[in-house]
């Protein structure tokens, strides 16, 4: 931070009545700026980004997808976007670690709000999510979605693939989510096989990371189980992901249950033996430079959380995805 900016920030902190302090979620009109804010008060948005649907100044938009009608075990992920936003307040209060500085100077980012989903019309859910995502993407911005159960990734992927063609999939998850179905189920365990069959993702360029549930058929997608990640270590895991994806356009989906329940108890289908939060974050931070064109963070179920640790992990993952995009923007300058 320059001396001028440091002096300006100190001035704002010492003068909380300044026009540029507090409640920036709805008062700020600049998606690049960050204001002094009480971490424990004020209007909430993701990382205190301006809460708006005006995409004209933005390069990235965060959007909630509050749907959990496809869950197979514990419900509650429809409350995930709200919890992740609340947990992000501290992360939005200062320079981004470990990247440094303000990522929004090069990646102006807004909080678009939540997609409206009618839970009593389940036949419309996928269409409405895809339609909302396409509306956001038509503004020429990157979309970071906050789920919601993992089923929401299918219509989100569909919207991105209609813009970019078949995508590589980088999936952090305890489950492969490639079990077969009849093509009509609302099931958060089947959607990536459906995506592969529909040509939305390219299995030859896709990878599951952190898996610890058995599936006898990988359907052409590379699988790095959680025990394999523990044995091979951070650097080798990063190298495997980068080798698999290469220069392809990729979609990144992060199911919070990739983390061990010790680090993320607030999720619908927890499985012991998962990644520690530090492992997952280090792997994620090692993906700098990949062409990640869209992303989601899903399966946070606040009713099963303790002291917001699951929501905080999810908010940090989402924060770091934005920082990866900001790094790519800086590299292009």
Distance linking the first and last C-alpha atoms of the chain:
18
5 lies in some domain: no
Answer for the pair 147, 129: CB distance below 8 angstroms, yes or no: no
**What is the Cα–Cα distance from 58 to 63, expressed in whole angstroms?**
13
106 lies in some domain: yes
pLDDT at position 102 is 93
102 lies in some domain: yes
Tokens at 70, concatenated: 């496809």
Tokens at 180, concatenated: 């077969």
10 lies in some domain: no
Strands laid side by side in the 109-114 sheet: 109-114, 60-65, 142-147, 292-298, 250-255, 168-172, 207-211, 222-225
Which residue has 């200062």 as its token pair? 94
Buried b (16+ CB within 10 A) or exposed e, 82-94: bbbbbbbbebbee
pLDDT at position 20 is 73
7 lies in some domain: no
Determine the Cα angle at 253 with ends 109 and 262, to 5°: 105
pLDDT at position 18 is 64
Query: How many structural domains comprise the chain?
Result: 1
**What is the Cα–Cα distance from 296 to 308, expressed in whole angstroms?**
19
Answer for the pair 201, 195: CB distance below 8 angstroms, yes or no: yes
DSSP element (H, E) containing 168: strand 168-172
14 lies in some domain: no
**What is the Cα–Cα distance from 158 to 196, expressed in whole angstroms?**
11
Short-list 220, 293, 195, 203, CA closest to 252? 293
Short-list 190, 134, 182, 197, CA closest to 160? 134
**What is the Cα–Cα distance from 328 to 333, expressed in whole angstroms?**
9
pLDDT at position 1 is 36
Q: Which domain holds residue 252?
A: 23-332
ω before 278 within 30° of 0 (cis)?
no
List the CATH number of the domain containing 233: 3.40.800.10
18 lies in some domain: no
**What is the Cα–Cα distance from 145 to 160, expressed in whole angstroms?**
12
Segment-wise mean pLDDT, segments of 10 residues, the chain, 333 residues? 36 51 90 89 94 96 96 95 96 87 95 94 94 97 97 98 98 94 84 95 98 92 98 98 98 98 98 98 97 98 98 98 96 90
* DSSP result, 125-153: HHHHHHHHHHHHHTTT-EEEEEESSGGGH
303 lies in some domain: yes
Answer for the pair 77, 264: CB distance below 8 angstroms, yes or no: no
């Amino acid at each position: 931070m320059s001396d001028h900016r440091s002096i300006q920030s100190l001035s704002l902190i010492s003068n909380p009545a300044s026009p540029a302090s507090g409640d920036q979620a709805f008062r700020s009109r600049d998606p690049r700026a960050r204001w002094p804010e009480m971490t424990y008060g004020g209007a909430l948005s993701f990382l205190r980004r301006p809460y708006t649907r005006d995409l004209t100044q933005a390069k990235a938009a965060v959007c909630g997808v509050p749907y959990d009608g496809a869950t197979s075990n514990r419900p509650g992920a429809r409350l995930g976007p709200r919890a992740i936003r609340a947990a992000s307040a501290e992360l939005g209060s200062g320079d981004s670690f470990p990247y440094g500085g303000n990522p929004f100077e090069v990646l102006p980012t807004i909080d678009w709000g939540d997609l409206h989903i009618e839970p009593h019309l389940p036949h419309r859910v996928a269409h409405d999510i895809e339609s909302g995502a396409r509306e956001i993407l038509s503004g020429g911005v990157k979309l970071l979605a906050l789920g919601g159960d993992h089923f929401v990734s299918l219509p989100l992927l569909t919207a991105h693939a209609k813009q970019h063609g078949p995508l590589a999939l980088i999936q952090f998850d305890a489950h492969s989510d490639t079990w077969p179905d009849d093509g009509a189920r609302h099931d958060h365990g089947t959607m990536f096989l459906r995506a592969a069959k529909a040509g939305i993702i390219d299995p030859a360029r896709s990878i599951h990371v952190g898996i610890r549930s058995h599936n006898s058929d990988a359907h052409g997608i590379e699988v790095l189980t959680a025990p394999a990640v523990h044995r091979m270590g951070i650097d080798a895991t990063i190298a495997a992901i980068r080798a698999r994806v290469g220069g392809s356009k990729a979609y990144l989906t992060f199911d919070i249950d990739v983390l061990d329940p010790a680090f993320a108890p607030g999720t619908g289908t927890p499985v012991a033996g998962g990644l520690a939060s530090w492992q997952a974050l280090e792997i994620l931070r090692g993906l700098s430079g990949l062409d990640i064109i869209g992303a989601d963070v899903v399966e946070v179920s606040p009713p099963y959380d303790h002291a917001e640790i699951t929501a905080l992990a999810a908010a940090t993952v989402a924060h770091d995805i934005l920082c990866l995009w900001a790094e790519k923007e800086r590299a292009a300058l």
